[in-house]
């Protein structure tokens, strides 16, 4: 039963890939992929989740806690949620294609 819950946890860790200009630059130059992950995810969990979902070998994982921006609309002030970003470095020769059309 723990293997099943562990697999369910791995499927919930990665929320979305971060597709941006900086993300594509990092992917081309350093063979890294950027993912938005759940805030309580650890580096070993992120590594296992990426290897399980994309069938690639991960060399290392770096994590950044991103603070939410303070926003204002007229007299109402608010704040976006804090979130966690993971830079996943792939082993040489490994690749994750995030564009579905190609």
CATH class of 2-90: alpha beta
Give pLDDT tens digits for 35-65: 999 999 999 999 999 999 999 999 999 999 9
How many angstroms separate the Cα of 81 from the Cα of each of 6, 17, 38, 47, 52? 26, 17, 12, 24, 28
- Contact in structure between 59 and 90 (CB atoms under 8 Å): yes
Note the pLDDT of residue 1: 41
Give pLDDT tens digits for 4-32: 558 889 999 999 999 899 988 988 888 89
Which of the four pLDDT bands, split at 50, 70 and 90, describes residue 81?
Answer: very high
Ordered by start, the domain boundaries in the chain are 2-90
Higher-pLDDT residue of 57, 100: 57
Full strand arrangement of the beta sheet holding 14-17:
14-17, 32-37, 83-90, 58-66
pTM: 0.86
């Amino acid at each position: 039963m723990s293997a099943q819950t562990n697999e369910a946890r791995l499927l919930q860790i990665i929320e979305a890939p971060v597709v941006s200009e900086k993300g594509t630059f990092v992917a081309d130059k350093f063979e890294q992929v950027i993912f938005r992950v759940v805030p309580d995810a650890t580096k070993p969990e992120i590594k296992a989740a990426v290897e399980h979902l994309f069938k690639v070998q991960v060399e290392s994982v770096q994590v950044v806690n991103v603070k939410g921006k303070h926003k204002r609309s007229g007299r109402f002030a608010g704040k976006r949620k804090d979130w966690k970003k993971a830079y996943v470095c792939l082993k040489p020769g490994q690749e994750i294609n995030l564009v579905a059309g190609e």
